[in-house]
């Protein structure tokens, strides 16, 4: 059993203030970076203390999931606010104005992976079709050309960022209810591009929607872990599941402050383990914890830590 | 309102420009706008400001009067005070509702955050809100009033749920989350919104507007959105308006067909061009009206003819063309109410006032086209 996070953590009030002060020129870039670094280190430590198998740096310098990668691409500008799926949170949509390629020098300032040991280091990036669907395409006449170019650029991007133990592709579009069978096939082929180049455990995380309808298709994706949002996907739909892949169960709600009971969560995990056959059971939040206030994100991490302890004794 | 293209505002205005710390500026602004808006006895305010004799409460009262005159003197048909007494559309109502506790700040985009509360028990109305505000405005308004109220669905969507999903039955988390959601929204309607709207209605107001910015956040809940609005408005004598902005309106159909209201105001100009013309190429922001026509909605539509997110002041001719195009798409000029995209809170009073003058003039020009 492994526990880990699946996306950005919330900025602390101190860090929010540092960003505001920087915008007003009250503090220097160095002072902001120093605050970012110390907050990232604190989040890394809390994940380590709670026994997480993979650790993220908190993604505190990311304004949204798409931004660091979008800002590293030629012929892309970010513009206008768009709703992040069914949340009261907005991202800036990439506007694609020409053929995509990775810039010669990418901006690595929002990353603090160097403080995480390589065998636990995890990065979260958008799945290529999700990135394409959330962008405004003003150049490509064919969706598949766009998606393959995103996948190629993403592969280069990940290589430049260094070594990771797990690479997560956040694929919320695939469970948004708008996906066609052609979309699924296109996404699968694009993930294949990444599979060939990424030397790490690869996870497809399906958040904000139910994976039930297309679960069989998702199991065909060339990834090692399938992540499910269990606040959208029924437990019952996993009955009889047979796969060698690992299954990640998002049993901790990243969008609500109500704290889960660790013992009840372990009991649900046991239920899934008894009704399905899969490689390994992974657990964590259903989505990024940045939709919670800082203190509640910490509490959720502690709930997961408790689940790790309890399941170590009983699973 | 039987005239074609009647003109309404949506709600908020920036704080009255005399509500500043700099005394000299406060005096200057109170004088400037007092004259411009023809505010009766504005000299009293100027004198009070000059002598530092004005309390915060009195200053807000004056701000409401200036807010009313702002819209009235620009020539709008239905007005309000620019929400001069309110802090913000989420925190303001929560002051009057028991059952919520603030949990901290959460991000909306980039480094913008809002204070988010959790419902911790069944909500209970402490006392109907917006009442003093409405009474005051009724005393001072010279035109019909429309009072804006944040809807139940939006209050629920912008809050955490530590009560309903906890008490929902069953082991399955997905089922529990869904069941809890519906109870949360409908309890807010029953315990809070309906009593508030009833109390406002009993004061005698021309329009009550439910503000529903979260309406299309979760398209699978659009039926719940509509049900909650209809339930809130049950038995209300005032005309019923709903404001939904910056969203994918198509996602709300066909549920919107069940909406039992008089006017739905939506944002269009933010996605439009500033070119003159009544052809589809010039008016992409208004294409969304086609779906309203296709479904033949029973209520009137108030498309935003003015973009509230830019200082560009739309010439009246542009407002006219947008109104005419809306009428063409809806197939009936009687279906169109002239409106802003949203509240004008983000614009200075100078820009906002010019925009309102243009809105009124543009609507009049469109009206003339129909004799």
Q: What average pLDDT is seen over chain B?
A: 96
Q: What is the pLDDT of residue B247?
A: 85
pLDDT at A313 over 70: no
CB A247 within 8 A of CB A276: yes
Q: Which member of B106, B111, B171 has the closest CB to residue A268? A: B171
Which chain A residues have a beta carbon less than 8 Å from that of B218? Answer: 86
Q: Which member of A23, A88, A231 has the closest CB to residue B173? A: A231
Distance in angstroms (rounded) separating the CA atoms of residues B147 and B125: 19
B174 — pLDDT class (breaks 50, 70, 90): confident
Assign B77 to helix, strand or coil.
coil
Residue A78's DSSP bridge partners are A94
To the nearest whole Å, the CA of B204 is away from the closest chain A CA by: 34
Q: What is the pLDDT of residue B246?
A: 85
Which chain A residues have a beta carbon less than 8 Å from that of B107? Answer: 10-11, 89, 290-291
In this complex, is the C-beta atom of A19 within 8 Å of any C-beta atom belonging to chain B?
yes
Q: What average pLDDT is seen over chain A?
A: 96
For B215-244, the pLDDT digits (tens) are: 989 999 999 999 999 999 999 999 999 999
Which of A228, A209, A225, A311 is closest to A269 using CA atoms? A311
A314 — pLDDT class (breaks 50, 70, 90): low
Which backbone phi and psi does B64 adopt, to 5 degrees?
A: -65, -40
Q: What is the pLDDT of residue A110?
A: 85
- For residues B24-40, give the mean pLDDT: 98
To the nearest whole Å, the CA of A234 is away from the closest chain B CA by: 6
CA A157, A175, B115, B103 dihedral sign is: negative
Which chain B residues have a beta carbon less than 8 Å from that of A290? Answer: 106-107
Q: Which member of B110, B162, B217 has the closest CB to residue A83? A: B217
Q: Which member of A64, A234, A258 has the closest CB to residue B165? A: A258
Q: Is the peptide bond before B254 cis (omega within 30 degrees of 0)?
A: yes
Instruction: For residue B103, count other CB atoms closer than 10 A to its CB.
Output: 19
- Which 8-state DSSP code applies to residue B338? B
Which of B156, B159, B173 is best to mutate for the A interface (most A CBs within 10 A)?
Answer: B173
CA B194, B196, B202, B207 dihedral sign is: negative
Strands A90-102 and A73-83: antiparallel
CA A240, A246, A251, A255 dihedral sign is: negative
Lowest mean pLDDT: which of A40-49, A57-66, A75-84, A300-309? A75-84
In this complex, is the C-beta atom of B178 within 8 Å of any C-beta atom belonging to chain A?
no
Distance in angstroms (rounded) separating the CA atoms of residues A28 and A195: 40
In this complex, is the C-beta atom of A90 within 8 Å of any C-beta atom belonging to chain B?
yes
Which of A110, A39, A32, A113 is closest to A71 using CA atoms? A110
Share of chain A above pLDDT 90, in %: 94
**Domain layout of chain B by residue ranges:** 23-369
Residue pointed to by tokens 């609005």: B229
For A211-243, the pLDDT digits (tens) are: 999 999 999 999 999 999 999 999 999 999 999
Q: How far is CA B150 from CA B67, B91, B197, B211, in A?
A: 20, 10, 10, 5
To the nearest whole Å, the CA of B96 is away from the closest chain A CA by: 22
Neighbouring residues of A287: CB distance < 8 A, sequence distance ≥ 6? A6, A7, A207, A208, A229, A250, A254, A255
Q: Which member of A19, A88, A230 has the closest CB to residue B108? A: A88
pLDDT at B35 over 60: yes
For A156-179, the pLDDT digits (tens) are: 999 999 999 999 999 999 999 889
Q: What is the pLDDT of residue B87?
A: 82
- For residues B44-59, give the mean pLDDT: 95
> What angle in degrees, to the nearest 10, is found between the helix axes of A29-49 and A294-314?
30
Strands B300-306 and B263-266: parallel
Residues in chain B: 371
Which chain A residues have a beta carbon less than 8 Å from that of B219? Answer: 86, 177
Instruction: Judge: A92–B110 Cβ closer than 8 Å, yes or no.
Output: yes
pLDDT at B1 over 60: no
Distance in angstroms (rounded) separating the CA atoms of residues B111 and A290: 12
Instruction: Judge: A231–B103 Cβ closer than 8 Å, yes or no.
Output: no
Chain B residue with the nearest C-alpha to that of A252: B173
Instruction: Judge: A235–B173 Cβ closer than 8 Å, yes or no.
Output: yes
Residues in chain A: 315
Q: Which CATH architecture has domain B23-369?
A: Alpha-Beta Barrel (3.20)
B282 — pLDDT class (breaks 50, 70, 90): very high
For A73-112, the pLDDT digits (tens) are: 999 999 778 899 999 999 999 999 999 999 988 888 789 9
Which of A192, A235, A191 is closest to A215 using CA atoms? A235
Residue B340's DSSP bridge partners are B306
Q: How far is CA A252 from CA A264, A313, B177, B297, in A?
A: 11, 20, 12, 41
pLDDT at B192 over 90: yes
Cα separation of the two ends of chain B:
17
Six token digits for residue B262: 């008089």
Which of A62, A91, A290, A293 is best to mutate for the B interface (most B CBs within 10 A)?
Answer: A293
Q: What element of type H or E holds B354?
A: helix B349-369
CB B18 within 8 A of CB B49: yes
Neighbouring residues of B207: CB distance < 8 A, sequence distance ≥ 6? B8, B78, B144, B145, B146, B147, B238, B239, B240, B241, B262, B263
Interface of A with B in 238-257 (CB under 8 A): 251, 253, 256-257
Instruction: Judge: A177–B220 Cβ closer than 8 Å, yes or no.
Output: yes
- For residues A247-257, give the mean pLDDT: 97
Which chain B residues have a beta carbon less than 8 Å from that of A232? Answer: 174
Lowest mean pLDDT: which of A78-82, A181-185, B152-156? A78-82
Distance in angstroms (rounded) separating the CA atoms of residues B364 and A124: 54
B45 — pLDDT class (breaks 50, 70, 90): very high
In this complex, is the C-beta atom of A294 within 8 Å of any C-beta atom belonging to chain B?
yes
Q: What is the pLDDT of residue A49?
A: 97
- DSSP structure string for chain A: -EE---SPPPPPHHHHHHHHHHHTTSS-HHHHHHHHHHHHHHHHHHHHHTT-SSB----TT-SSTTHHHHTTEEEEEEEEEEE-TTSS-EEEEEEEEEEEEE-SS---TT--GGGS-GGGBEEEEE-HHHHHHTSEESS-SSHHHHHHHHHHHHHHHHHHH---SEEEEE-GGGGSS---HHHHHHHHHHHHHHHHH--SEEEEEE-SS--STTHHHHHTSS-SEEEEETTTS-GGGGTT-B-SSEEEEEEE-TT--PPPPHHHHHHHHHHHHHH-B-S-EEEEESS-GGGS-HHHHHHHHHHHHHHHHHHHHH-
pLDDT at A304 over 90: yes
The torsion defined by the Cα of A200, A204, A208 and A209, in degrees rounded to 10, comes to: -170
Q: What is the pLDDT of residue B83?
A: 96
To the nearest whole Å, the CA of A250 is away from the closest chain B CA by: 10
Chain A residue with the nearest C-alpha to that of B248: A83
To the nearest whole Å, the CA of A290 is away from the closest chain B CA by: 7
Instruction: Judge: B103–A257 Cβ closer than 8 Å, yes or no.
Output: yes
Domains of chain A, earliest start first: 2-10+51-314 (3.20.20.210)
Six token digits for residue B21: 């710390």
Model pTM score: 0.93
Instruction: Judge: B111–A253 Cβ closer than 8 Å, yes or no.
Output: no
In this complex, is the C-beta atom of A81 within 8 Å of any C-beta atom belonging to chain B?
yes
Chain B residue with the nearest C-alpha to that of A91: B109
Distance in angstroms (rounded) separating the CA atoms of residues A29 and A300: 31
Q: What is the pLDDT of residue A305?
A: 97
Q: How many CB pairs under 8 A join A and B?
A: 92
Six token digits for residue B11: 């709600």
Q: What element of type H or E holds B290?
A: helix B289-294
Instruction: For residue B2, count other CB atoms closer than 10 A to its CB.
Output: 5
- For residues A115-144, give the mean pLDDT: 97
Which chain A residues have a beta carbon less than 8 Å from that of B224? Answer: none
Q: How far is CA B308 from CA B100, B208, B271, B321, in A?
A: 32, 22, 11, 18
- For residues A257-272, give the mean pLDDT: 95
Chain B residue with the nearest C-alpha to that of A256: B160
CB A73 within 8 A of CB A123: no
Which chain A residues have a beta carbon less than 8 Å from that of B247? Answer: 83
In this complex, is the C-beta atom of B162 within 8 Å of any C-beta atom belonging to chain A?
yes
Cα separation of the two ends of chain A:
8
Chain B residue with the nearest C-alpha to that of A264: B171
Burial class (CB in 10 A: 0-12, 13-18, 19+), B183: middle
- For residues B63-91, give the mean pLDDT: 96
In this complex, is the C-beta atom of B165 within 8 Å of any C-beta atom belonging to chain A?
yes
To the nearest whole Å, the CA of B97 is away from the closest chain A CA by: 19
Distance in angstroms (rounded) separating the CA atoms of residues A151 and B232: 48
In this complex, is the C-beta atom of A85 within 8 Å of any C-beta atom belonging to chain B?
no
A315 — pLDDT class (breaks 50, 70, 90): low
Distance in angstroms (rounded) separating the CA atoms of residues B229 and A57: 43
pLDDT at B64 over 60: yes
Which of B366, B364, B292, B303 is closest to B337 using CA atoms? B303
Angle (nearest 5°) at CA A5 between A261 and A101: 155
Which backbone phi and psi does A69 adopt, to 5 degrees?
A: -70, -45
């Amino acid at each position: 059993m492994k526990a880990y996070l699946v996306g950005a953590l919330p900025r602390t009030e101190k860090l929010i203030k540092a960003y505001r002060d920087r915008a007003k020129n009250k503090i220097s870039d160095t002072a902001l970076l120093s605050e970012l670094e110390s907050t990232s280190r604190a989040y890394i430590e809390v994940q380590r203390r709670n026994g997480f198998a993979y650790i993220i740096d908190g993604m505190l310098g990311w304004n949204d999931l798409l931004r660091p990668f979008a800002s590293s691409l030629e012929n892309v500008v970010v513009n206008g606010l768009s709703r992040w799926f069914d949340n009261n949170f907005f991202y800036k949509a990439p506007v694609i104005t020409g053929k995509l390629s990775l810039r010669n020098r990418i901006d690595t300032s929002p990353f603090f992976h160097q403080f995480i040991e390589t065998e636990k280091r995890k990065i979260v990036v958008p799945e290529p079709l999700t990135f394409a669907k959330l962008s405004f395409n003003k150049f490509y006449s064919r969706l598949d050309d766009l998606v393959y170019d995103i996948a190629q650029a993403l592969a280069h991007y990940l290589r430049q960022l260094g070594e990771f133990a797990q690479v997560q592709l956040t694929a919320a579009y695939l469970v948004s209810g708008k996906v066609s069978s052609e979309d699924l096939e296109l996404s699968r082929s694009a993930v294949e591009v990444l599979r060939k180049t990424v030397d790490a455990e690869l996870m497809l995380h399906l958040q904000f929607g139910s994976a039930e309808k297309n679960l069989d298709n998702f199991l065909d994706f060339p990834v090692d872990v399938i992540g499910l949002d269990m606040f959208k996907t029924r437990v019952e739909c996993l009955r009889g599941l047979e796969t060698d892949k690992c299954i990640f169960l998002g049993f901790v709600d990243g969008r609500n402050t109500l704290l889960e009971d660790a013992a009840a969560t372990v009991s649900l995990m046991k239920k899934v383990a008894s009704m399905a056959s899969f490689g390994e059971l992974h657990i964590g939040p259903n989505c990024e914890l940045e939709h919670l206030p800082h203190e509640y994100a910490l509490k959720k991490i502690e709930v997961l830590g408790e689940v790790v302890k309890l399941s170590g004794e009983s699973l | 309102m039987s005239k074609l293209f009647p003109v309404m505002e949506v709600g908020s205005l920036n704080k009255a420009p005399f509500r500043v710390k700099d005394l000299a500026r406060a005096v200057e602004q109170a004088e400037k706008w007092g004259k411009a808006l023809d505010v009766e006895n504005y000299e009293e305010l100027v004198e009070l400001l000059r002598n530092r004799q004005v309390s915060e409460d009195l200053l807000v009262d004056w701000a409401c009067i200036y807010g009313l005159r702002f819209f009235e003197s620009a020539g709008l048909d239905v007005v309000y005070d620019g929400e001069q007494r309110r802090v913000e559309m989420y925190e303001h109502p929560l002051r009057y509702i028991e059952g919520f506790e603030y949990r901290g700040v959460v991000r909306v985009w980039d480094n913008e955050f809002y204070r988010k509360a959790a419902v911790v028990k069944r909500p209970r109305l402490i006392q109907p809100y917006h009442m003093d505000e409405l009474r005051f405005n009724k005393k001072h308004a010279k035109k019909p009033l429309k009072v804006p109220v944040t809807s139940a669905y939006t209050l629920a969507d912008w809050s955490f749920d530590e009560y309903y999903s906890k008490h929902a039955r069953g082991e399955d988390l997905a089922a529990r989350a869904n069941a809890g959601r519906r109870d949360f929204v409908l309890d807010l309607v029953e315990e809070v919104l309906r009593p508030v709207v009833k109390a406002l209605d009993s004061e005698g107001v021309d329009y009550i507007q439910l503000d529903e910015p979260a309406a299309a956040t979760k398209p699978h809940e659009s039926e719940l959105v509509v049900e909650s609005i209809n339930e809130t408005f049950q038995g209300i004598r005032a005309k019923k308006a709903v404001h939904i902005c910056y969203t994918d309106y198509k996602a709300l159909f066909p549920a919107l067909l069940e909406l039992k209201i008089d006017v739905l105001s939506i944002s269009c100009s933010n996605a439009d061009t500033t070119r003159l013309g009544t052809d589809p190429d010039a008016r992409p922001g208004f294409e969304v009206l086609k779906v309203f026509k296709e479904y033949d909605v029973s209520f009137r539509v108030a498309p935003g003819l003015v973009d509230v997110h830019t200082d560009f002041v739309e010439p009246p001719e542009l407002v006219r063309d947008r109104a005419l195009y809306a009428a063409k798409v809806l197939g009936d000029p009687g279906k169109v109410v002239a409106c802003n995209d949203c509240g004008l809170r983000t614009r200075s009073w100078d820009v906002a006032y010019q925009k309102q003058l243009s809105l009124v003039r543009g609507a009049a020009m469109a009206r003339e086209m129909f004799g």
